[in-house]
Chain A
Amino acid sequence: MAPSARSRWLRPTLIAITATAALVLSACSAGSGASAGDTSGNQLLTIPREDLATFTRNFNPLSPQAAPMTKEAVYEPLLVHSMADAKDTPWLATKWDQSQDGRSLTFTLREGVKWSDGKPLVAEDVVYTFELRKKVLGGLEYLDKVTAVDERTVTFSFTKPFSPALFEIGGQSIMPKHVWSAVEDPAKFTNPDPVATGPYTKVEKFQAQSYELHRNPGYWQPGKQQIAGIRMLAFSGNDSANLAFTNGEVDWTQSFIPDIEKSFVAKDKDHNHYWFPPAGAMINWQLNTTKAPFDDPAVRKALSMAVDRDQITKVAMSGYAEPADCTGLARTYDKWRDKDLAASCTWTKYDADAAAKALDAAGYQESGGKRKLKDGKDFTLDISVGSASSDWISVANIIKQNLAKVGITATVKTPDWAAVINSYEQGTFDTGIVWSNNGATPYEYFRDVMSSGMLKPVGEKATQNYHRYADKRADGLIEAFAAATDERGQREQVDALQELYDEVAPAVPLFTGPEFGAYTDARFTGWPSADNPYATLGNRNTSTILVLTSLKPVKD
């Protein structure tokens, strides 16, 4: 009785398990590798998002959480600015003119551009886009009026001469009036089926873990629409995204890959490539200038001299970053850099002895191996970095070792970024490793690092200029830059700003951050590179559209 009961129970179960296992294994071997190695000419460009575990169907270009590619492949701006070569490419506008007094800007729209529903792009669409943006998001305080002069001409008039407006206005995604004027609440509209001018506007197979964008049939430059479409994949972290990439299942990533030569390039030297141009923002060691002794420029310069930037860029940043100089400008702004000034820098060169002497001279003597403040206490400081940024924590630790050589005791503090940012915003921090503003011109950068434009007192929430430094002379130069109508006038101001930066050292510039990007050209060719730097390899910035319209599928 007992054995029969057991076998009755066991036999069907065993059969079921074996059958399931067989099914599982066969289905699996058939499923994997279907997309990898597809060179039919119709393969989709596959891009991972390591920072989005799931997608939500939201193609509203006014939303900060719009689905990836909304502003890169679906909607298009008037002009495209590339951070890689600092060039502007006319896009929906063929040309733009600034008036003599700098108070207005006129764009001429391209002929023959159609929305994906077949209606033509007209000046009214541009006017409506900016009305909507102001209504939904506010901002653009300098913008007085937008007028459609005729079908293809739009004029923006300003309340004051303001040349940096070109990039903010030119970079705005243009939206169709005939669609959006019928939307009841544009701020809360998820726009699931976008009508736009971009090369890939048709949303297909939208799922939380992946979706596809297919060709816009009426695109205005059909010759540049060579890839069949884009497939986005969601990942909940670098590890799983990098695994898909090094496995050859996706084409283009911008997530950080440790030891990329070995873990990625070595797997397929012919096809796997990366390019990390220094097109990122300047990363500063910011000293809270409301606290003594950081209010003393001599101290800031001495601390800067104590820092070994070569070690920081080589060790902490794995050689991917470029050391800073005393102009304070990131490599992105090479064309603005004062070459003579950069060649004669003193306080951004590593020299521990000179740093010690400068501190002595400023009144901070060393006794018994410890440097003393003017009130006799030990010279100590905290460096705050968010716990998630392992590379920047290494940067802070190198600074700590460097400072020990001049008798200063530094403590590296690594709470959650939220807590760190809070101490920056309120001005309660000591020192910290902080990014800076990376606009199309150095205007935003200098405004935020040394003018009173973004200055807030301690205890009030600051969004920039966390170190709270302002110089009246900088204010004047920044304003003159904004008012200058041509590049020569702007250049004069930037030169003066660099000299001022060198004189007052508002922050300790460390290095230009790299723009990560890697790709395989097994399925697509035409990528930007050091030889052809038309864009960065970022897949979510202003120059992404240039890459999407340059790639060609490999076809056997």
Chain B
Amino acid sequence: MRLILRNLGFYLLAFWVSITLNFLLPRFMPGDPVSRMFARTQGGMQPEQLAQLEKLFGLDDRPLWEQYVTYVKSVFTGDLGISITRFPTPVSEVIGSQLGWTLLLGATALVVAAVVGNLLGIVAAWRRGGVFDSVFPPLLVFVGSFPYFWLAMGALYLFGVTLGWFPLRHAYDAGLTPGFNAEFLASAATHLVLPALTVVAVTVGSWMLGMRNTMIATAAEDYITMAQAKGLSPSRIMFRYAARNALLPSVTNFGIGLGFVVGGALLTEVVFAYPGIGFQLLAAVQGLDYPLMQGIFLTITATVLLANFLVDILYVRLDPRVRVR
């Protein structure tokens, strides 16, 4: 328990540091939101409109420390303000409308990659030097080292355009209304396949390699020899004795990965026109939308810290050695 409390203190400090950075970093960027907007339209806006927009947005020109105090207050009250690039929609609404899809895509890809990667790693390590072990790791590392953009585009053209197996864009067919009915769920599922698979394809290799290496180290332990001497079935030894102990680093990685899911998958969103936080964050940075940037960074920070905290607690349960220390 004391361990958890000590960790909690550390997490609070980390949280404060990161929300402060979230506040400061955007403000070091050159320019201001209105001239960014003006520049993007390239002559489509009259110069007189600049002053009008500054008035409309009510841009904050108070001293930085006063803004900081208001900001810290807003972090705890959950009032994230109004987005500038999506004026006058509140930041919480902008994030809320995208977050579901980001979580669906990111979590699906993460879980599939982690489960498949770990299973492959276990099998490869168990049959070390076999055909499986010599083919899969190099192949997956090869696929994983492709530029993601290229791989996703290739998959889109092959499976979407040429073969027509999967839809080309969006999270579900245009014209459907989200709800728990078979038509919508089937549409959402088919739209998820290609984006998620491309992410899995480039990430599964590192899961497999990581698991394989820890497994090999674990397999050399005395208790494995002991188990074999007892005459236990190979699969029981593989999963219950070796894999369970080799799983710890993967749990850590899973926690970190889970935290970063909310940051969105920018390139996936761009290629498949999939709604999500990633592109929203890019747009916010390009448009110097301070409130939206802060909101998204805050969501990411909070989730990463929360995920890590949960992993810490899970560790206490999984690994008795942590409890003793």
Contact = CB atoms under 8 A, between A and B. Distances in A.
B193 A24 contact: yes
A425 B55 contact: no
A401 interface: no
B143 interface: no
Interface in B143-162: 153, 156, 161
Contacts of A418: 29-31, 36, 39, 286, 288
Interface residues of B, number: 71
B38 A463 contact: yes
Contact of B168 (A29, A212, A243): A243
A421 B36 CA distance: 8
A28 B190 contact: yes
Contacts, number: 182
A8 B78 CA distance: 49
Contact of B43 (A53, A208, A435): A435
A54 B97 contact: yes
B291 to A, nearest CB: 13
B173 A34 contact: yes
Given A27-B187, A31-B187, A187-B56, A64 B87 contact: yes
B166 A28 contact: yes
Nearest to A237: B270
Contacts of B153: 239
A461 B32 CA distance: 11
Interface stretch (B7-15, B46-54, B204-212): B46-54
A14 to B, nearest CB: 14
Interface string A291-319: 00000000000000000000000000000
B170 A188 contact: no
Interface in B96-118: 97-98, 101
A236 B175 contact: no
A464 B47 contact: yes
Nearest to B171: A209
A137 B56 contact: yes
Interface string A126-140: 000000000011110
Interface string A217-240: 000000000000001011111011
A448 interface: yes
Contact of A231 (B50, B161, B174): B174
A62 B56 CA distance: 9
Contacts of A137: 49, 52-53, 55-56
Interface stretch (A93-101, A102-110, A146-154, A436-444): A436-444
A419 interface: yes
Contact of A240 (B98, B186, B273): B273
Contacts of B280: 53-54
B190 to A, nearest CB: 5
Interface in A201-217: 205, 207-210, 212
A205 B173 CA distance: 12
B87 A5 contact: no
B263 interface: no
A240 B271 contact: yes
13 contacts: A2-B236, A23-B189, A28-B167, A32-B164, A64-B56, A136-B55, A139-B48, A190-B89, A209-B273, A210-B170, A212-B175, A418-B29, A436-B43
Interface of A: 1-2, 5-6, 23-25, 27-29, 31-32, 34-35, 53-54, 56-58, 60, 62-65, 136-139, 187-190, 205, 207-210, 212, 231, 233-237, 239-241, 243-244, 247, 249, 281, 417-419, 421-422, 425, 435-439, 444, 448, 454, 461, 463-464
Given A188-B88, A237-B273, 11 more contacts: A5-B235, A53-B275, A138-B51, A188-B82, A207-B177, A210-B175, A212-B175, A240-B271, A244-B168, A422-B31, A463-B35
